[in-house]
Structure 1
Amino acid sequence: MTQTARVVVIGGGVVGASVLYHLAKAGWTDCLLLERNELTAGSTWHAAGNVPTFSSSWAVMNIQRYSAELYRGLGEAVDYPMNYHVTGSLRLAHSTERMREFERVAGMGRYQGMDIEVMATEDIQARYPFLATHDLAGGLYDPYDGDIDPAQLTQALAKGARDLGARVERFRPVTGARREGNEWVLETPKGEIRCEYVVNAAGYYADRVGALFGRKVPMMVMSHQYLLFDNIPELESWSKDNNAKLPLLRDVDSSYYLRQEKYGFNLGPYENPCKAHWITRDDPMPEDFSFQLYPDDLERLEWHINDAMARVPLLEQANLQNVINGPIPYTPDGNPLIGPMPGVPNAFEACVFTFGICQGGGAGKVLAEWITEGGTERDMWAVDPRRFTGFESRDYCIAKGMEVYGHEYAMHFPHHAWPAGRDQKHGPNHARLQALGAQFGAYNGWERANWFARAGDDTSEAGTQTWRREGPWFGAVKAECEAVRDGVGVLDLPGFSRFNLDGAGAAEWLDAQISGRLPRAGRVSLAYFPDHRGRIVTEMSLVRHGPDHFTLITAATAQLHDFEWLKRSLPDNLTLTDQTEAISTLIITGPKSRDLLTKLTDADLALPWLSHQSAEVAGRDAHLLRVSFAGELGWEVHATPGDIAHIYDEVLNAGATPFGMFALNSLRIEKGYRAWKGDLSTDYTLLEGGLERFIDWSKDFHGKPALEAEKQAGPAKRFALLTVESPEFDPPYMSTIWQGDTVVGETTSGYFGHRTQRCIALSMLRADLATPGTELEIEIFGQRHRAVVQPDGPLWDPKNESLRA
């Protein structure tokens, strides 16, 4: 007999159980969890069970904060015994750069309602009396950190789900899947199951489960060891005298954690070099690795063990009791996959968790929101599976996973490019850029020039590992911006995501997806796609070629996200084709760009701003768009890769200065131009984002009722451009904005404008404060800096005279 369920969750670890629990809490009780063995049989059973809230990612911090809040009351809520020790934690800093990271994270934590404390060295020993502090710069105390029993947590979530009406079946693996109509049919040894939705929560088996649905999951598996040490009389005495456990200690610069375990210790290093598993024919992934471990491999941990003993000499007194060496899955960026399964209808992913215990609670909440509401409460791009677009080969996943593991506690500096897994996609001008001194960054795998080094510039990786505004790139970027300001610059831009939309009725359909008006044939417009709540899903440039023929251009990293957003409601009679690799792009911009192009093209360069045309450039077929993200007179030139290489050479020969992505960031922020998934995200509505000029209230479109209601009530926040008196640092994403002792907003991006010689932040403010001249303060690495709200419109060329020249 065939079973049915509304949702089937595949995988019985903490994440799968949390998804089931949160679905049931949302009222979706006709849900079934399938586990191939016992619950917790995968990486959950051997997990150390740490529950930090610390993260440098706003979205991941939200997930972990929610988990910690959930776990503190879960035992009582579901009537299940829980061993959850909220001990707090100390993170140690060996440098001022690390202290700045701590200040930034503490600021984000305070904004999310957490009292995270940055500590001076002399205050640390009061929290941890057995610690050597002579070489430390300070620390960070998180009172919400601690540890939990992973098995108890999973069973509690499963019990809570069962009590609400959901079901759990153990020893029932999924062996096949097929699509019939609008249903999934899952094959198991105990018969088929028909369901509306399916969730891959299979942990380190996620790639195998994904393959059943035609999905290549971007992941690999690392070997992670932690060591359990026997009781220490002095620690036992201290714990009994103080009726407490020591805070969980993380020496992040030495890359390990040390946790009190009863009256002994648990030491967990993240070593470099590290070891991946199941990556060769000689080391295949077993069919079933339930409740199993790898052999001990302590030699590669020797440095960390010695360092921990020097840091906490008490550890030298302990006997090693046990070694746990188990598999932990990694994505190429170390964040999990939570959200829609790319390319697969009604299928979702909640898998590849490196820190599944501390993220499991929040992951269940987020995934349940995706299924039951069609979107998440907060923007979750940092964990969205669509951030990976399919180029990620197995070798790439292994290289990046090992890099992330070996730098688990590394600081993510704003101008630093991680070296592993590079050179995945080269544009046609890559060799020429290298010869010009380009320092590259990866954008959806595409290598683009971030800046162009000059003679004597430090191009070492170490040179970019700073939070400061001024580094080896600064002088070069300044010169690139000035070249665009005073003459003409050219930016090579491979990997611009572009889709062609065709078919009878394409215009009518597209008009219903966007908030504004469609451009006329021969024109270009900027379009915003709201969700049903009126929030900003994405921004695209619409190029209209004819009545029902469009090209849609969007950010490189948005390729899969935006393609799937369009496909989700695309009628069968319309065609949407991805042309990203078929065409490449140059930005030619600056007050002398028309003079330069006059020598190279037969195009009508007098056509107005936001027009487009086909023409020959340097004797090659091309398409010219009269737009410029740099905010100067300029054109985008689109052509085939072979032709764009020839055009680029001729543009350089005609006198253009090459510039990179760092310069473009400086130029765009002076114009107040928003960047995707920073300034433009589902954390904000179109009205909050200051985009009402892109709303046509006279027509129907997706999300209009929500926006009409918000307009009547008045938005709670509003977009504002601020100048910031910060001589050393640019404000990072999600820096807190204060008015006196009150938090009134957050920055969405910040950078130094070389044309205006001012530090600029784009922000979301409490609506009543988004008026020109309002004086506020922005918290940057723990220090508050004066900021002033600027008039509406750009700081550079406020009347757009250069742009329209």
Structure 2
Amino acid sequence: MKTNVKALVVGGGAVGTSIAYHLARAGWEDVMLLERDELTSGSTWHAAGLLPYFNMSFATTHIHDYSIRFYKTLEEETGLNAGFAVVGNLRMAQTKERMDEYMLYASTAETCGVPYTFMTPDEIKAKWPLIRTEDLQGALYHQTDGYINPADVTMAMAKGARQRGVMIERKWQADAFHWNGTAWEVTATKMVEKGGNLVPSDEQIVITAEHVVTASGNHAQRTAKMLGIKMPAIPVEHQFIVMDQDPELVVFRKQEGNVEHPVIRDADAQSYVREERGGWILGVYEKDAPARFEYGVPDSFRADLFQLDLERIEDQYMAMNHRIPSAENCGLKDDFNGPICYTPDGNPLVGPAPGLRNMWLAEGFSFGITAAGGTGYYLAQLMVEGEADIDMASLDPKRYGDWMTTEFAARKNEEAYEHVYILHHPDEERPACRPLRTSPAYDRQAAKGAQFGWVNGWERPNYYAPEGFNDHDARSFRRGGWWQYAVEEAKAIREGVGLIDATAFTKHLLKGPGATAFLDWFTCNKLPSVGRINLTYALTGAGTTRTEYTIVRLAQDEYYLVSAGAWTAYDSDYLRKAIADKTPEFGYVECHDVTTQWGVFAIAGPKTRDVLNTLVKDADPATVLSNKRFPWLTMRNIELGMCPVRAIRVAYTGELGWELHHPIEMQNYLWDQLMQAGEPHGLKLVGARAQNWLRQEKSYRAFGTELGRDATPLEADLPRFVDLSKAFHGKAEMEAKGVRSKCVTLLIDGPADADPWGREVLYHGDTRVGRLTSGGYSVAFGKSIGMGYITPDLAVAGTKLKVKMFDQLWDAEVTEDSPYDPTNANIRVDG
């Protein structure tokens, strides 16, 4: 057995074998896979093997699409039949709202080239008469997917991996990980059978690996403890039952021309059904399924199952009999209740481990068979080439910070499981484990009618509504009940003054003799002079956008960095690793995450000075906020009443405004002062949804939508923030890519009752030319607005396009950048 390898994959399920296969296919030699038991002995063996395309995530849709296409090639390569039944996937809708969901998803799928068709109840009945359809609105049909045998596809990938030189070692358990400064030393113990259990023997070896990938499935918590990190990957019970033959199904299949039923998904009944040897398999995503193995998998648990809880799935069983009446005559043949790993948002954890070098995670796969092939492909790209073709940030393990606990992960994972088939409104906010992280002003905001959103654990007002308003009932795929309040808030900032809580912003303090040289290399824009700010980007090694920063220069070698609130651990990890790499070259740099030390209020609108002037303490308070003393894009330390404030003259809304960064412990005092001072001027509280609309009117790109690891700053059409006269990380790679697509702003004549969400496909004539990344409503133009990427030749103001919404094409026109106040006159106004 080899003890020195390029890459070691820990875990022999579908995900682990795919990663090993794709690393070898990408050209890496000396790849080894360790499995503590037998291949497929984790959740892979009892998975139902479904391959659902459906996913609202652009990245995950690409991953699922690759898997489905890849699995169809395995037999030709390996000679092993992966058991892929391409029967299609029929997602039925009992309500018009469910059809709205499918139409939004379908447009998202179209951006990835995923084929689909919509079917009417009559069309379903004509093709599959055993399905009851009179209470259906219709269905979304994916004709190219279906189901696969999980063990067979895993073994096929394992054989393909061996053919490419991968060493697969069974009955070896990884028991310790040690980074020696240049490589990982992994202690592996030989596992042996004893009394039906798998136990460690006295035989141990140490494997030295340049890279390690963990794909440990249900054992993720054990892996996390050995690595000294946190991972919210915890299994939840998943039940499905196998029924005896259905005589009516047998007769139907014997009739000439009748093909196998597609996977039948009755989302409104929280279940799926597929054929199985003349009978049916019923799988459910029910309420109250418990999390298991929160603190580790017992040594006695191997390819085992839990006791079936039929009472918990009785409603789903009865719903299946309603949907397929002939199934009521089938007896129970077999049952499965096994652990399937989940994460709080249902997406897996794929990418670099926090704080560790060359340690890669592939954990928390609730749809592991569907995702395995694509995960192996795109993770191999990350490892071998430094970046993937798609933006993998939404799957990054660091989207959850150190504030996350085991209890949080277990409860949120149960919620994610329960929500698999609950309507996925784009404006949904899930309630479990909330509130958890709150700014001091939370109670004051709640008393004013704040309806909160969840950002990296923080509670942040989405909008404000009257007493008794129910946010859950206000959600919709169209203009929800909250829409009118967001319109009023957006108008208040355009016409008067509004106050936004931006405390969730990520904030870092960098200082030291090497800080200036490091930041100059780390970011692509010129560094600001002392007291000034700039907007800049840190790039990936592939030249794409890794992070957006507002940099405030506090002193010659001291900087305050502000970035997106959802990405604190993600940004911090990248910063710290880059600093450690460059310290020998640039000198000592301190990096402090000060996110929780500073609260932030953003105040904006034409009347902003009127409000702040009543609070400013200065020898000449009337001039403190003037253009002369406080120009646009500068920072000043000011006093508002008794609160010291680091005021930054910038406004994400595109109006006169300031960000008021203040000591977090003084937030309630400052809130009360601002509310009192603002009352005579009609100060209105404003949430994140109105702010999102306003920033699109100014064409302000947002990280996670317009800005990400699949596009460069030049493709985001931000050359003014890129200083090509200097050297910076990723510059050569950025220039080599050219401009493959370009970010634009569009005004949209859409449905009278709906706006785009930023997930829709764009057409020029009959040609698909791009996709929206953001969407909403423009109070300035009285119509829908969106931002997105299209082919560069069309990125010209006046170009006529079409956007698909609710399965129809609607007129859209490319506008000039910053269609509202393009000269920034409102932002620079003096007073």
Q: What TM-score, normalized to structure 1? A: 0.96
1:459 and 2:470 aligned: yes
What is the deviation of 1:243?
A: 6.2
CA distance in 2, matches of 1:177, 1:635: 48
RMSD of the TM alignment (CA)?
1.6
**Counterpart secondary structure, 2:339:** strand
Q: CA deviation at 1:219?
A: 2.4
Deviation at 1:795, TM superposition (A): 2.2
Q: Is the 8 A contact 2:268 2:421 kept in 1?
A: yes
1:307-336 C-alpha deviation (Å, 9 max, x unpaired): 101110111121110101101111011111
Does the 8 A contact of 1:622 with 1:637 survive in 2?
A: yes
For structure 2, the residue ranges without an aligned partner over 5 or more in a row are 190-203, 619-623
The code of the aligned residue for 2:261 comes to L
Q: Match for residue 819 of structure 2?
A: 795
Q: Partner residue of 1:204?
A: 218
TM-superposed CA distance for 1:763, in Å, is 1.7
Q: Distance in 2 between matches of 1:667 and 1:649?
A: 26
Moved more, 96-105 or 5-14: 96-105
| 1:226/1:473 CA distance change after superposition, 3 Å | same
Determine the C-alpha separation between the residues in 2 that align with 1:171 and 1:707: 45
Q: For 1:2 and 1:683, how far apart are their aligned partners in 2? A: 37
Q: What does the per-residue CA deviation read over 1:143-170, in whole Å, with 9 as the maximum and x for residues that have no partner?
A: 1221111111111111111111111111
Q: Distance in 1 between matches of 2:664 and 2:82?
A: 59
2:516 corresponds, among 507, 518, 522, to 507
- Following TM superposition, where does structure 1 have runs of at least 4 consecutive aligned residues deviating by more than 6 angstroms? none
Kindly indicate whether the alpha-carbon contact (under 8 Å) linking 1:732 and 1:780 is maintained by their aligned counterparts in 2. Answer: no
Cα distance in 1 for partners of 2:814, 2:740 equals: 17
CA distance in 1, matches of 2:403, 2:590: 23
- Partners of 2:208 and 2:293 lie apart in 1 by 32
C-alpha contact (below 8 Å) 1:536/1:680 kept by paired residues: yes
Aligned AA for 1:89? N
1:304 aligns with one of 304, 308, 316:
316
C-alpha contact (below 8 Å) 1:526/1:541 kept by paired residues: yes
- 1:433-472 aligned within 5 A: 433-455=445-467, 458-464=469-475, 466-469=476-479, 471-472=480-481
Query: Secondary structure of 2:827's partner?
Result: coil
Separation of aligned partners in 2, 1:53 and 1:467: 20
Partner residue in 2 for 1:732:
757
Find out whether 1:128 has 2:91 as its counterpart. Answer: no
For residue 9 of structure 2, give the secondary structure of its aligned residue in structure 1: strand
What is the match of residue 680 of structure 1? 707
1-structure distance, mates of 2:259, 2:171: 40
CA contact (8 A) 2:652 2:691 kept: yes
Partner SS for 2:653:
coil
Matches within 5 A, 1:233-312: 233-241=247-255, 242=257, 244-279=259-294, 285-312=297-324
Could you tell me which residue of structure 1 aligns to residue 396 of structure 2?
A: 384
Task: Work out whether 1:56 is the aligned partner of 2:45.
Answer: no
Q: Equivalents in 1 of 2:126, 2:543: separation in Å?
A: 50
* 8 Å contact from structure 2 (residues 101, 425) kept in 1: no
**Superposition pairs for residues 502-581 of structure 1, below 5 Å?**
502-570=511-579, 571-572=582-583, 573-581=588-596
Percent pairwise identity? 37
Q: 1:219 aligns with which of 211, 223, 233?
A: 233
Per-residue displacement from partner, 1:731-762 (whole Å, max 9, x unpaired)? Answer: 12231111111111111101102233221111
Which residue among 341, 353, 356 is the counterpart of 2:365?
353
Partner of 1:336: 348
AA paired with 2:289?
A: C
DSSP-derived class of the 1:614 partner? strand
User: Is this contact kept in 1: 2:188–2:205, CA < 8 A?
Assistant: yes
**Contact 2:521-2:729 within 8 A present in 1 as well:** yes
Corresponding residue for 2:41?
A: 41
Aligned residue number for residue 201 of structure 2:
none
- 3-state secondary structure, aligned to 1:719: strand
Q: Distance in 2 between matches of 1:240 and 1:112?
A: 37
Q: Distance between the aligned counterparts of 1:543 and 1:315, measured in 2? A: 66
Per-residue CA deviations over 1:157-191 (Å, capped at 9, x if unaligned) read 11111111111111110111112121111112231
1:507-656 equivalence runs, <5 A: 507-570=516-579, 571-572=582-583, 573-602=588-617, 604-606=624-626, 607-655=630-678, 656=683
CA contact (8 A) 2:177 2:187 kept: yes
Per the TM alignment, residue 455 of structure 1 is displaced from its structure 2 partner at its CA by 4.8
Alignment check: 8 A CA contact 2:239 2:336 kept: yes
CA distance in 1, matches of 2:291, 2:375: 25
In the other structure, the counterpart of 1:718 is: 742
Q: How does 1:16-95 map to 2 (within 5 A)?
A: 16-95=16-95
Distance in 2 (alpha carbons) for counterparts of 1:504 and 1:605 = 32
Deviation, 1:297, is 1.3
1:497 pairs with one of 482, 493, 506:
506
- Residue identity in the other structure for 1:310: H
Structure 1 position 419 matched with structure 2 position 431: yes
* Deviation at residue 460 of structure 1 after TM alignment: 4.3
Residue of structure 2 in register with 1:752 after alignment = 777
The residue number in structure 2 matching 1:178 is 178
Q: Which residue of 2 aligns with 1:480?
A: 489
Name the count of aligned residue pairs: 795
- Once the 2 structures are TM-superposed, how far is the Cα of residue 236 of structure 1 from its aligned partner? 2.2
Q: Assess if the C-alpha contact under 8 Å between 1:100 and 1:782 holds in 2.
A: no
| Structure 2 length-normalised TM | 0.93
Query: Structure 2 vs 1, CA of residues 200 and 520 (structure 1 numbering), >3 Å: closer, same or farther?
Result: same
Separation in structure 1 between the aligned mates of residue 783 and residue 52 of structure 2, nearest angstrom: 37
Residue identity matched to 2:822: P
CA distance in 2, matches of 1:14, 1:719: 37
Which blocks of at least 5 consecutive residues in structure 1 are unaligned?
A: none
Describe the SS at the equivalent of 2:541: coil
Mapped to 1, the partners of 2:173 and 2:318 lie a distance apart of: 43
2:50–2:147 CA contact under 8 A, matched in 1: yes
Deviation at 1:418, TM superposition (A): 1.1
Q: Which has the larger displacement, 413-422 or 310-319?
A: 413-422
Cα separation, 1, equivalents of 2:305 and 2:183? 37
Q: Cα offset for 1:244?
A: 2.9
Query: Quick check: 2:393–2:709 contact (8 Å CA) kept in 1?
Result: no
Amino acid at match of 2:499: V
SS of 2:172's partner is coil
- Taking the aligned partners of 1:197 and 1:706, their CA distance within structure 2 comes to 24
Q: Distance in 1 between matches of 2:467 and 2:338?
A: 48
Quote the offset at 1:377 in angstroms: 1.1
Q: 1:279 to 1:704 in 2, by over 3 A?
A: closer
Q: Does 1:697 align with 2:724?
A: yes
* Contact kept in structure 1, 2:529 and 2:553, CA below 8 Å: yes
Q: 1:231 Cα shift?
A: 1.7
Check conservation: 2:355, 2:577, Cα contact below 8 A.
Answer: no
- Distance in 1, matches of 2:2 and 2:30, equals 15
- Deviation per CA, 1:450-504, whole angstroms, max 9, x where unpaired? 1111256x3241222x1112x3222222222222222221112222101111111
Residue number in structure 1 paired with 2:193? none
Q: How many Å separate the matches in 1 of 2:69 and 2:88?
A: 14
Whether the 8 Å CA contact 1:20–1:166 is kept in 2: the answer is yes
